Each structure stands twice: as C-alpha cells, then as structure tokens.
Amino acid sequence: MSSDQHPSPLEQSGASDDSIQQVHDQLQRQKPEKAIGYSAFPLILLGIMCTAVFFGAIYLAHYSAHFDPTVYNEHEKARTGAATVAVITPAQLGKRVFNRTCITCHQATGQGVPGVYPPLAGSEWAQGPEERVIHIVLYGLNGKIHVHDKDFDNSMASLGTALKDDEIANALTYVRSEWGNNAPPVSAEAVAKVRAAEGARTKPCTVDELMQMAK
C-alpha cells in the first residue's frame, strides 16, 4: 500500500468507537429506503380473485341446470316436471329367469326341442289355468304330455327349491305373454298359496292330476 493512501478506520488498529460508528452510518445510508405504505400488488391480486369468483357464480347459476344429469348442453334450460324413471315389468324380470333356467330345454323361441321338450309358444298348457303351470314349475312333471297334437314323454325337474315365489311368478308371466301367448300374469302370492297348500311335497305332478285342477 502506497504512503499516500489512508487506511479505512476499520483497518486501523485500535480504531475508536466513533470511527466505527461513522462507518456504520455510511453503510446504512447506502441501503435503499423501504417504501412507506402498502404494496398495490396484493390488492390487485385479491380483486382479480374476487372478480373470478363473482363471475363463476353467475355462470353456474345460469348454465348448471341445477346439475341435472340429463342436461348436457350448457345453453339448454333445466327441465321441469317429474323425471322419467325406467320401469322394469314382471315379464322382463321373468325373461331373465327364463334365460337362466328354462332356455336350454324350451329354447329362446319357445319352440322347445322336437320329440323331447314341448313348445311353450302357443301351448294350451302354458296359457292354461295358473294353478296347473305353477304346480308344474314347483314340483316338476312326470309322464306323457300332449302339446300341439304331439306327445312328449320327458320328465321336467322341480324348480321349487331353486327359485323363489316371485321368480317363478315372473317367469310364468313372461312365458304366458311371449311368442304370441296371451294369458293373465301370475302373481307371487298365487305361487306362495300353492306352495303352502302342498306343504313339503317332493312328488312330481302327472297329467291326470293336473287335469283335475281348475279349468
């Protein structure tokens, strides 16, 4: 260091407290002063957020259609009145039971298997008194049966333990209204009545027995 340069007060050994205070004041004056008051940026950001919420609420009020799942067009007005609810009929429920239990023998067309399983389409038995068809499904059938001027000699197994009363009623209702058949529906109460009257029966029905029932 040249002789004409003067060391800073901090470089001087044994610097006085006044010298240190002077240096500290110089450094403080070099720092930028803090702005007085609040920054405008947070206020602007808050205003933008409030505006977005306000217009979002207006949009939902006009185009949400009260969140009706049937309304997919945002410009379509909400529908008024009772909503349409799909109703499944006993015959439709019975078709499910038929497809699960009876279709293998009687076929989807209701024509059965020639010489083996009798047809249900146009059958005088399927459309006959409900007490007969309920007995056949509940307890089965053994022996020859005459359908469409043809004889079928093939026993039908009992379904009374496999199906509930309402399932049997629905299946019979389907059979009696399908393939051109036109017979009254069968109720679960009618099936329960036959089941209660027969008790713990396990013996299959015969044609002679069925013919003695209500005509």
Domain boundaries, the chain: 39-78, 90-211
Query: Average pLDDT for residues 122-144, to the nearest whole number?
Result: 95
Phi, psi at 88, each rounded to 5°: -95, 125
Considering the chain, what percentage of its residues have pLDDT values greater than 90? 52
Calculate the CA 199 to chain-centre distance. 39
The amino acid at residue 55 is: F
The per-residue pLDDT for range 25-83, each reduced to its tens digit, is 666 666 566 556 667 777 788 889 899 888 888 877 766 656 665 555 555 566 666 66
The residue whose two tokens read 């050994």 is 13
Alpha helices in the chain (DSSP H): 17-30, 40-63, 90-101, 103-106, 130-139, 165-175, 188-198, 207-211
Instruction: Tell me which fold the domain 90-211 belongs to.
Output: Cytochrome Bc1 Complex; Chain D, domain 2 (1.10.760)
Give 107-130 pLDDT, tens digit per residue: 999 999 988 899 999 999 999 999
pTM (two decimals):
0.61
Cα 113 from Cα 132, distance rounded (Å) = 22
| 180 neighbors 114 (Cβ within 8 angstroms) | no
Give the whole-angstrom CA distance, residue 134 versus residue 193: 10
Q: Which residue has the tokens 């019975």?
A: 94
Longest Cα separation, the chain: 142
